[in-house]
Every structure is written in structure tokens, then in C-alpha cells.
């Protein structure tokens, strides 16, 4: 193909990709609206509108013409780095989306929609049996999907790869084993130590004032208000409506201000990632985060490593005190710092602290692997859950509702998603150590209320690349080695020995 | 064609229509978001997203397959009333949308987009000459569009028909002539009378409290909050995001509470119309209002005839007083009623009162007809404007910015739109008289805070039909005769002789 031929072919492929991305952004706008304030009775027709947009985007991503254009371009050498990455990721997307038969996609979507309803009722009634047939069916459909997507040795690989591209079950299992072996004794040690005081966090904090504090907090973290906004929703989330429109939501609880604060910080981390991808990637499939694990690394580094640090609250506590002078009058930095870093084994993943959180995830990773491989039957699932909770965290769920039925993911048909939550912690710790080396004044700046250096570092080393680099390439390039859970374990040990005594 | 054949063909046509309507609703959702809170830097990509959706809807409305299906069905007799109306309106839409060549549609859109920018600057700088070439070009393009759309005698018919389907220039001109002849002396008489007191409306009314008052006001008028919502925007509007999702916006001015109140009432009138169309029409092109004039009749009847009546404020003034006890402590019903019905010739259409408003519209109607026919040149436009303002309202604009440059419509390429504003007043007055006959307790109920009967009457006689009946059919069916401006003139004379003395 001539130079011009290549340019034209690329342009055609990019135009198709851009239309699909725009349609997906629009679908996100509809979802955002639905979660933040859509009138209730609009729900049914809104689902139809979203499904229509998704199918239009899907058609553009799976059009035979895309396959032709890809083949033409793949025979050509000498593309620039961005174009080469675009081609690689477009091929990956095309294969993934065309390998699943339409009937299977529809079956998965319909089953998941009905399963979510069944799950909600089952959780309400604490009735695992009512959910069992749905779960069995979703596991079957996921196995079927994995077989269509393809894998080398382990079926679960194909599922994991949808959320954490290029990762393998074997690698994640190796890393999680090491992580679990470090975490279990650390949690036991902390549980045996004297507990920190959290009573001041149970006082009454006016949600309106919490909102005002969050409004300035997101800006202090580098979130530009002309490129996003903060709203309220039942479950906090981040969503991208366009290159310059990434929005976050949070929720405020009167007697748990830390919940709203850290949701805002967490989602700000996600938003900064999406807003920080390079300009030349914008409107293409390269402009999204490279994996859910890397996404979590950006939210968790900001939430836990920066946002729950002494340095951060050196500056922010006096600010927060201006909003809540009465509630915080007897709370000094040390008491506050220890309170927001309280560790305690508990039943619910989304309420778990920085130390125990990964164990909730490893438990789910081990269980869903076994469900997919067939080593664990759905009937034996509640028992396996209880056993692992006891092994990992030393506690047992008082019900299936607060045990195996607590998360929405499986009811949505999402298997392979959970591990990304814990991978985020591991990536984040490795990135943090390099950031500290690259930017020795980081903590001093943070203590003076200036987080811009931290954000700039993340943009420079992580955000700007979007999907150009895979998760493992990022880790390799930044940390100079493979994924290594010992860095996170060291970070935790150091931080929590200080809080809970060595 | 067999019964089944007809059913299948209809079904295929309806499916195409439904997809287009859903895409238009989604485009409306994007516009709503853009006007109510979209981050500023998203504007460019948002335009691309909206244009994409509009072109996808347009493709579905102009597909050759639509033409084939229409032809097949048109040869068939015995369709039910809804299906027959659907076919009639779908044919109308198909012809209108396919008659304009794509190049002309694009040329109009691009010119309008740049002309709006030029208009904004011209208005800012009070420089009509800067806008002249744009206006000339838009007139040319509109003539071209009219020629493609087709008309029998008067070119302007084709333009008017886009906004007020089935109306003719001759008929509107006849009605407006009669209206003008009645209004001019009425305005003169009022201007010569003793002016009413509006000083209490210039006090400080906290916008937050105005908002709270509007929130309950829309509900009191029958707007269901699970099918819509109220937000703030620079210019109040109503938009339909779906069958059960019609939203309104308003704005609040600290020293002019009547502005926010009557914007809310006006837009509620529009929303109730869209929300009141029959269930069997939903998601089809029949479910929208039948013409802009009938739409204005619903908003203006609620705003002016109901919303500015003594009966309405008999109940609502004590409610409003709960929000503004200090500001209204010396204001009794009579003073309030006369204040909100203050009449005064003024330069700006959107700020005009109920009596002078139609004269602003007739002026524009006469001028734009002459511009399209060529009887008036663009160079002579500012002079013609001044002359007519003097004739109709007895005042002269102090600048083109507050004269011929005040409205956005022409810069958007919309010629034929203006007359619908005044037609709304005429329809409304005719409907009101029938409503009073059908429902003799109407004013007593309103005075007791119950507007449900008025809304039910409008739903029953107007709303439910959507586009099934044309504007003139509605007037014929409800009032038992053709459009008649004398009813509106009588209504005004009676109301304002009472206020300003006979």
C-alpha cells in the first residue's frame, strides 16, 4: 500500500472507531443522568434508548469493514507509536466483539438483567437458593463466552482478560498467594492490638456541609471543574461523557463523614486518569484507562496512600475544621489520622479498610476461578465462602445476604472483574515508591496543600498513555520490574505498625 | 395486501419511526444537559455527539425503505384512526425531509451556526451592517428551501408550514390584520390610563426561596415529579427526553419574582401538553404537540389566562406570602393582581406583557414575509422595523441591538416561526371560553387551589390527540368554528378595562 493508501485506510478505521466512541459517550451520559436525577417513570424507555446506542456502537465496532481495514493495515510496517497501538487495540477489540455470537451476547444480557432482579430479592430475603439457578446459568454462559473468546490453558484467562487485558490467571494467582500470606498475619496482629478511637467520626456532620467540603476537596486534588462535576448517587461512580467531560458522584452519610470524603477522593482519582490521557488519543479507543487494575491503582493511591496520609491531613484537617468546628474541636491530627485508618476485619467488602480489603478480593478470585473450572459447585458456594472468611479474616458471615450475596458483580454476569480491585493496590504501591524517588519533596508539598506535583507525576507516567501501554508494560517501565506484591505489603506493614504498635 | 401484510408493513414502518424518535429523545437529553450543567470544555465534542444522533435519526426518517412502506400502505383502506393519522404524518415528514437536498440542509446548518455567532457580536456591538450579509444569505437559503418543499401560491407558506403545519400565510395574515386593528387602540387606551403599581415586585426576593416556591407551584399545576423535573438555565425551555420524561427549566431574578414564577407556569403548560398525549401514540411521531401555535396555546393559557387571573392568586398569594412574608406584607390580592398584569409598550418581545406581545409578533410576521418575497430588502430592514414599532406600539427602538437584532430566530435560519407565538394566544382564548362552558366551576376550583379540572379538560380536548388532529381541526372540534381573533380581543378588553378603567 502507498503512504497515501495507508493514511486513507487508517482514517477510515479511525472514523468508524470515533463514531462508536461518541455513541458510547452518549450512552454514558444517559446512564449518568439515570443515576443522578432522571424522573422515575422514565426508566423503561431509558433502557431502550441505552440499548439502542450500545447496539449502534457495537455495529460500528464489529462491522466486517473493520476486519478488512485491520487486515490491510496489519500487513504494513512503519506506523508511528500511536497508530501501531491503535491498530493493536482495535484488533483486540474487534476479535473480542466478533468472537461472541450475537445470540450469546443477547442471552447473557437478558439473563443478567433478570438475574440482577432475582439477586436483589434473594439478598433482601437472605435466600441463596432463590439465586442459585441464575448463578448456575450465568456460570454456564460465561464458560461458553470464554470458549468463544479463546484461551491457551485456563478458561478463566479469557474472562480475566476482559477486565485486565493481557493478565493471566497463573500470574495473578501467584501474586495473590504471596499477598494473602503476608496479609493474614498482619490482620491478626492488628486485630490483637489496642483499637484506635473512631468515636469522633460518629458525631453528626451536616451532609450539606460535607458537600461543600467535597466541592473544594476535588479541586484541591487537581480536578478541573470545567471538565467535570460532582453529583450525588446511591453508589459513587466515575463516568466519561467525552474527552473533556468526566464526572464523578459521591454520597454523604451524616454519621460517617469519612465515607463521603474518601468516595470523593477515590472517584477523583479515576476521573484524573481519564482526563489525563494524551490529546492525540482523544476520541479513540486508546483514550480510556488501560485496565481496571491500573484504574484502581489511580483511585486507591489517591484515596488511601495520599488521602489517608498524615501529610495530607496536616493541611486538610484545618480546612475540614472550618466546615465542622464543633465536631472536630477535640480532634488533633494524630487522633484524626488514626481514626480514618482504623482497621477491623468485617463482612462487607465495600466497607473494608485498606488492610483487609485485598483479602475480600482474593477470596472472590479463588472462588470464581473454582466456579468456572467446575472445582466448586454452586451448591457448595456458601460453605466455601464461610470457610475462606474464617481462614482469611477470622470471622464468619451471619447470613448469606452479608456473605456470598453481598456483591452485584456475579448477578451481572461479570466473572474476572474482582481481582482488578486488589491488583490496583499492588500497582499503586509500586508506583508510589517510584514517585517518592522521582519527587523527593512530594510529601512536603502535600503537607502544604499542594497535590499538583503528585497529579503531574501520575499524568506523566501513567495517565497520558491511555491504552498505549498495557498494565504490565506500565509497571515494567515505571518500577523497572514485574508486578511485586511485597512493595504493597511493606507499605502496609510500615504504616500500620506505626499506628497499631510494632 | 392481506391483513397480515398490512400489519407487518405497518410494524416495520413503526419500528423505523420509533428508532428515530428514540434517537431524537437522546439528542434532547444531550441538549438538556448542555443547558443545565455540562462542564464548559465539553461543548465542542458535545456538538459532534448531537450532530451524530441527529444524522442517525434523519437517516431513519429519510430511508428509501420508508418511502416504499408508505406507498404500500397508502394504497390500503380501512386503517384505524391512529394508524391513518400515523401514515398521514409520516408521509408529511418523509416528504419534508427528503425534499430538501442534503447539500442545502448542510449549507443551512453551517451558515446558521456561523450566523448565530455573527449575530451575537453584531448585537453586542449594535452593528446591524455586520449581520447583514449573513441575514441575506439565510434568506436566500430559506427561499431555496421553500422552493424544494413546495407551495401553491406564496413561498412563505412552505416555511410557515414547518412550524404551524397546514396553516397558510393568507389565513394568518387575515387573522393578524384583525388582531392588530383591535390591539393598537387597546394599547393606546391603556398607555393613556393611570399606570398600575409594580414597586413591590422590585423588592428583594431570595432566588433560593423563589426556587422552593416554583417547586411546589409546578406540582400544584398538575406536573408529576416522577415524569419530569425543574432546573435552571439561561433561557427557560421545555424538552422531551422520553414519553415519561419531559423537563422544564426556569430562571430567577432577585428583583423580578414574576419572571421566574411565570416562566415556571409557562413551561409547565408546554410540559403538560407533551406528557398528556395518548398512551397509544407514545414513542411515535404522533406523540408530539401538533403545532407550535397549539403548544403556545397551552403554555400561554396556563401562564396568562389562568396564571395571571384573580382566581389563581386568591389561592396562591397566601402560599407565596409564606415564602416572602416581609416583601408581601403590604400587598393585598388586588394590588398583586394589578401588578402582575401591568401593561406597557416596550422594545423587547420576550419582556412584553399579554396585551402588547402579539404586536411584536405581527411586526415580525409582516417583516419576514416581505423579506422572503423580496418586497423588503435587508438594507431597509432597520428602517421598516422602526416604522412598524412606532405604528404598532408608539415607541421607537433606541438601537438596532434592542430593535431588529434582539431575537435569535433569524440568525438560526428560522423564518415562519414567529407567527406561532401569537397564534397561541388566539387558540388559547377560544379554548378558554369552551372550557368555561364545559366546566362552569373552573374558576371556583382554581380559587380553591385546585387546577386539576383545567388540566383534565386540556388533556381531554387537546393534549391526548398529539399530532392526530391538526391545529385547525382542534379549533374546529373544540370551538365549533375557525380561528377567530375576536375571542382573544374580547378577553383582553374585558380583563384590561377592569384593570385600567373602561
Q: Decide if B42 and A283 are in contact by the 8 Å CB cutoff.
A: no
Alpha-carbon gap, residue A128 to A400, rounded angstroms: 7
Coil vs helix vs strand at B276? coil
Alpha-carbon gap, residue A392 to A355, rounded angstroms: 12
Residue A225: closest CA among chain B residues belongs to which residue? Answer: B39
In this prediction, what percent of chain B has a pLDDT beyond 70? Answer: 100
Among the options A24, A89, A164, A267, which is catalytic?
Answer: A267
Nearest-CA distance from B23 to chain A in Å? 7
Q: Was domain B199-345+427-492 assigned CATH 3.40.50.1820? A: no
C-alpha cell at B379: 438594507
Alpha-carbon gap, residue B79 to B77, rounded angstroms: 6
Contacts of B30 in chain A (CB under 8 A): 26, 29
Within 10 Å of residue B192's Cβ, how many Cβ atoms? 8
C-alpha distances (whole Å) from B99 to each of A140, B62, B103, B104, B148 are: 53, 10, 11, 10, 6
Test mutation, A244, A274, A284, chain B, max B CBs within 10 A: A244
Nearest-CA distance from B98 to chain A in Å? 23
Q: Decide if B245 and A22 are in contact by the 8 Å CB cutoff.
A: no
Q: Decide if A39 and B244 are in contact by the 8 Å CB cutoff.
A: yes
Q: Give pLDDT, residue A423.
A: 98
Contact of B33 with chain A, judged by CB distance below 8 Å, is answered with yes
State mean pLDDT over B275-298.
97
Residue B245: closest CA among chain A residues belongs to which residue? Answer: A42
Q: Which helix (H) or strand (E) holds A250?
A: strand A245-250
Among A37, A49, A225, the residue with its CB nearest the CB of B229 is: A37
Query: Under 8 Å CB-to-CB from A51, ≥6 apart: which residues?
Result: none
Q: For residue A425, is pLDDT > 80? A: yes
Instruction: Quote the mean pLDDT of chain B.
Output: 96
Helices assigned H by DSSP within B256-413: 257-275, 292-300, 310-323, 333-340, 357-373, 381-393
Query: Under 8 Å CB-to-CB from A269, ≥6 apart: which residues?
Result: A298, A299, A300, A301, A302, A303
Among A30, A42, A224, the residue with its CB nearest the CB of B244 is: A42
Nearest-CA distance from B11 to chain A in Å? 17
Q: Decide if B39 and A243 are in contact by the 8 Å CB cutoff.
A: no
Specify whether the CB–CB gap between A301 and A434 falls below 8 A. no
State mean pLDDT over A216-233.
96
Phi-psi region of B466 (alpha: psi -120 to 50; beta: other; left: phi over 0): left
Helices assigned H by DSSP within A341-484: 357-373, 381-393, 419-438, 442-447, 452-461, 471-479
For residue A451, give the nearest of A301, A278, A341 by alpha carbon.
Answer: A301
For residue A271, give the nearest of A293, A304, A249 by alpha carbon.
Answer: A249
Test mutation, B28, B241, B275, chain A, max A CBs within 10 A: B241
Alpha-carbon gap, residue B255 to B206, rounded angstroms: 9
Contact of A48 with chain B, judged by CB distance below 8 Å, is answered with yes
pLDDT digits (tens, 9 = 90+) for B397-434: 999 999 999 999 999 999 999 999 999 999 999 999 99
C-alpha distances (whole Å) from B95 to each of B107, B148, B500 are: 19, 10, 50
Contacts of A283 in chain B (CB under 8 A): 45
Catalytic residue status for A267: yes
CA atoms within 13 A on the CB side of B372: 26
Alpha carbon of residue A323 to chain centroid? 30
Alpha-carbon gap, residue A267 to A261, rounded angstroms: 10
Q: Decide if A45 and B226 are in contact by the 8 Å CB cutoff.
A: no
pLDDT digits (tens, 9 = 90+) for A88-120: 999 999 999 999 998 999 899 999 989 999 999
Nearest-CA distance from B228 to chain A in Å? 5
C-alpha cell at B442: 373552573
Contact of B60 with chain A, judged by CB distance below 8 Å, is answered with no
C-alpha cell at A293: 487494575
Q: For residue B501, is pLDDT > 90? A: no
Nearest-CA distance from A402 to chain B in Å? 32
Coil vs helix vs strand at B230? strand
Instruction: Quote the mean pLDDT of chain A.
Output: 96
Within 10 Å of residue B136's Cβ, how many Cβ atoms? 14
Angle, CA of A245, A38 and A42, to the nearest 5°: 130
pLDDT digits (tens, 9 = 90+) for B74-111: 988 889 999 999 999 999 999 999 999 989 998 999 99
Q: Decide if A26 and B53 are in contact by the 8 Å CB cutoff.
A: yes
Test mutation, A45, A228, A232, chain B, max B CBs within 10 A: A45
C-alpha distances (whole Å) from A195 to each of A359, B362, B445 are: 20, 79, 66
pLDDT digits (tens, 9 = 90+) for B208-258: 999 999 999 999 999 999 999 999 999 999 999 999 999 999 999 999 999
C-alpha cell at B448: 380553591
Within 10 Å of residue B175's Cβ, how many Cβ atoms? 22
Q: Give pLDDT, residue A4.
A: 87
pLDDT digits (tens, 9 = 90+) for A384-394: 999 999 999 99
Contacts of B238 in chain A (CB under 8 A): none
Contact of B30 with chain A, judged by CB distance below 8 Å, is answered with yes
Q: For residue A325, is pLDDT > 90? A: yes
Give strand pairing partners of A250: A232
Within 10 Å of residue B476's Cβ, how many Cβ atoms? 14
Contact of B46 with chain A, judged by CB distance below 8 Å, is answered with yes
Within 10 Å of residue B12's Cβ, how many Cβ atoms? 16
pLDDT digits (tens, 9 = 90+) for A352-403: 999 999 999 999 999 999 999 999 999 999 999 999 999 999 999 999 999 9
Test mutation, A18, A22, A51, chain B, max B CBs within 10 A: A22
State mean pLDDT over B480-490.
97
pLDDT digits (tens, 9 = 90+) for A143-161: 999 999 999 999 999 999 9
Nearest-CA distance from B242 to chain A in Å? 7
Q: Give pLDDT, residue B318.
A: 98
Report the length, in residues, of chain A: 502
Q: Give pLDDT, residue A502.
A: 61
Nearest-CA distance from A248 to chain B in Å? 12
Specify whether the CB–CB gap between B296 and B266 falls below 8 A. no
* Torsion A222-A225-A229-A230 (CA) sign: positive
Alpha-carbon gap, residue B50 to B175, rounded angstroms: 38
Test mutation, B14, B25, B45, B271, chain A, max A CBs within 10 A: B45
Contact of B40 with chain A, judged by CB distance below 8 Å, is answered with yes
For residue B354, give the nearest of B428, B461, B437 by alpha carbon.
Answer: B428
Contact of B39 with chain A, judged by CB distance below 8 Å, is answered with yes
Q: For residue B4, is pLDDT > 90? A: no
C-alpha cell at B63: 430511508
C-alpha cell at B304: 396568562
Among the options B24, B164, B267, B303, which is catalytic?
Answer: B267
For residue A474, give the nearest of A456, A460, A454, A491 by alpha carbon.
Answer: A460
Contact of A225 with chain B, judged by CB distance below 8 Å, is answered with yes
How would you class A116 by CB atoms within 10 Å of its CB: exposed for 0-12, middle for 13-18, buried for 19 or more?
Answer: middle
Nearest-CA distance from A238 to chain B in Å? 15
DSSP labels, B142-159: HHHHHHHH--SS-HHHHH
C-alpha cell at B221: 399545576
Q: Which helix (H) or strand (E) holds A241?
A: strand A238-242
Specify whether the CB–CB gap between A468 and A461 falls below 8 A. no
Long-range interactions of A460-464: CB distance < 8 A, separation 24+: A461/A431, A461/A434, A461/A435, A462/A273, A462/A276, A462/A294, A462/A297, A462/A298, A462/A431, A463/A272, A463/A273, A463/A275, A463/A276, A463/A277, A463/A298, A464/A276, A464/A277, A464/A278
Indicate the angle between helix axes B485-500 and B419-438, nearest 10 degrees: 80
State mean pLDDT over B138-149.
97
Residue A23: closest CA among chain B residues belongs to which residue? Answer: B49
Question: What is the four-CA torsion angle of A305, A309, A312, A316, rounded to 10 degrees?
Answer: 120
Give strand pairing partners of A239: A247
Alpha-carbon gap, residue A223 to A205, rounded angstroms: 24
Q: Decide if B42 and A229 are in contact by the 8 Å CB cutoff.
A: no
Q: Decide if B26 and A19 are in contact by the 8 Å CB cutoff.
A: no
Q: Decide if A245 and B25 are in contact by the 8 Å CB cutoff.
A: no
Contacts of B232 in chain A (CB under 8 A): none
Alpha-carbon gap, residue A44 to A54, rounded angstroms: 16
Alpha-carbon gap, residue B422 to B167, rounded angstroms: 13
C-alpha cell at A213: 467540603
* Pairing between β-strand B238-242 and β-strand B245-250 as defined by DSSP bridges: antiparallel
Contact of A434 with chain B, judged by CB distance below 8 Å, is answered with no
Alpha-carbon gap, residue B29 to A456, rounded angstroms: 34
Coil vs helix vs strand at B484? coil
How would you class B215 by CB atoms within 10 Å of its CB: exposed for 0-12, middle for 13-18, buried for 19 or more?
Answer: middle
Q: Give pLDDT, residue B502.
A: 61
B254 phi and psi angles, rounded to 5 deg? -55, -40
Edge-to-edge, what's the strand order for the sheet holding B245-250? B230-232, B245-250, B238-242
Q: Give pLDDT, residue B347.
A: 96
Q: Give pLDDT, residue B370.
A: 98
State mean pLDDT over B121-132.
96
Beta-carbon pairs below 8 A across chains A and B: 96
C-alpha cell at A57: 456502537
Alpha-carbon gap, residue A347 to A394, rounded angstroms: 10
Angle, CA of B78, B80 and B83, to the nearest 5°: 110
Contact of A14 with chain B, judged by CB distance below 8 Å, is answered with no
Alpha-carbon gap, residue B401 to B463, rounded angstroms: 38
Amino acid at each position: 500500500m502507498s503512504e497515501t493508501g495507508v493514511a486513507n485506510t487508517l482514517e477510515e478505521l479511525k472514523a468508524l472507531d470515533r463514531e462508536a466512541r461518541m455513541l458510547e459517550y452518549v450512552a454514558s451520559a444517559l446512564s449518568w443522568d439515570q443515576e443522578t436525577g432522571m424522573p422515575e417513570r422514565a426508566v423503561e424507555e431509558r433502557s431502550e434508548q441505552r440499548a439502542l446506542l450500545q447496539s449502534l456502537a457495537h455495529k460500528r465496532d464489529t462491522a466486517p469493514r473493520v476486519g478488512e481495514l485491520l487486515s490491510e493495515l496489519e500487513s504494513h510496517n512503519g506506523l508511528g507509536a500511536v497508530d501501531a497501538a491503535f491498530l493493536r487495540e482495535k484488533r483486540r477489540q474487534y476479535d473480542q466483539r466478533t468472537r461472541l455470537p450475537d445470540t450469546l451476547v443477547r442471552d447473557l444480557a437478558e439473563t443478567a438483567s433478570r438475574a440482577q432482579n432475582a439477586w436483589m430479592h434473594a439478598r433482601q430475603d437472605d435466600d441463596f437458593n432463590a439465586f442459585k439457578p441464575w448463578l448456575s446459568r450465568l456460570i454456564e454462559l460465561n464458560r461458553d463466552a470464554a470458549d468463544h473468546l479463546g484461551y491457551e490453558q485456563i478458561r478463566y484467562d479469557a474472562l480475566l482478560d476482559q477486565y485486565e487485558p493481557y493478565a493471566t490467571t497463573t500470574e495473578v494467582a501467584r501474586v495473590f498467594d504471596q499477598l494473602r500470606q503476608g496479609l493474614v498475619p498482619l490482620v491478626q496482629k492488628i486485630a490483637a492490638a489496642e483499637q484506635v478511637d473512631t468515636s469522633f467520626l460518629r458525631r453528626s456532620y451536616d451532609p450539606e456541609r460535607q458537600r461543600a467540603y467535597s466541592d473544594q476537596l476535588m479541586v484541591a486534588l487537581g480536578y478541573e471543574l470545567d471538565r467535570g462535576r460532582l453529583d450525588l448517587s446511591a453508589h459513587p461512580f466515575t463516568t466519561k461523557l467525552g474527552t473533556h467531560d468526566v464526572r464523578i458522584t459521591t454520597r454523604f452519610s451524616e454519621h460517617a463523614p469519612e465515607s463521603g470524603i474518601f468516595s470523593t477522593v477515590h472517584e477523583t482519582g479515576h476521573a484524573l486518569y481519564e482526563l489525563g490521557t494524551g490529546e492525540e488519543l482523544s476520541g479513540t479507543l486508546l483514550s480510556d484507562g488501560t485496565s481496571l487494575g491500573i484504574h484502581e491503582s489511580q483511585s486507591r493511591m489517591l484515596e488511601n496512600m495520599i488521602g489517608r496520609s498524615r501529610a495530607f491531613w496536616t493541611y486538610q484537617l484545618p480546612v475540614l475544621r472550618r466546615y465542622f468546628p464543633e465536631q472536630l474541636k477535640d480532634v488533633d491530627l494524630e487522633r484524626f489520622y488514626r481514626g480514618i485508618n482504623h482497621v477491623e476485619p468485617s463482612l462487607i467488602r465495600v466497607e473494608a479498610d485498606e488492610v483487609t480489603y485485598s483479602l475480600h478480593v482474593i477470596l472472590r478470585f479463588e472462588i470464581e476461578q473454582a466456579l468456572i473450572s467446575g472445582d466448586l459447585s454452586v451448591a457448595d458456594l456458601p460453605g466455601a465462602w464461610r470457610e475462606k472468611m474464617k481462614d482469611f479474616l477470622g470471622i464468619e458471615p451471619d447470613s448469606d445476604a452479608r456473605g456470598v450475596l453481598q456483591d452485584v458483580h456475579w448477578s451481572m454476569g461479570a466473572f474476572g472483574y474482582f481481582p482488578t480491585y486488589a491488583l490496583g493496590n499492588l500497582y499503586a504501591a509500586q508506583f508510589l515508591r517510584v514517585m517518592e524517588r522521582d519527587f523527593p519533596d512530594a510529601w512536603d508539598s502535600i503537607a502544604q496543600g499542594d497535590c499538583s506535583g503528585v497529579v503531574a507525576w501520575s499524568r506523566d507516567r501513567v495517565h497520558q498513555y491511555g491504552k498505549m501501554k498495557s498494565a504490565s508494560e506500565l509497571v515494567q517501565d515505571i518500577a523497572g520490574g514485574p508486578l511485586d506484591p511485597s512493595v504493597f505489603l511493606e507499605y502496609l506493614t510500615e504504616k500500620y505498625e506505626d499506628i497499631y504498635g510494632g
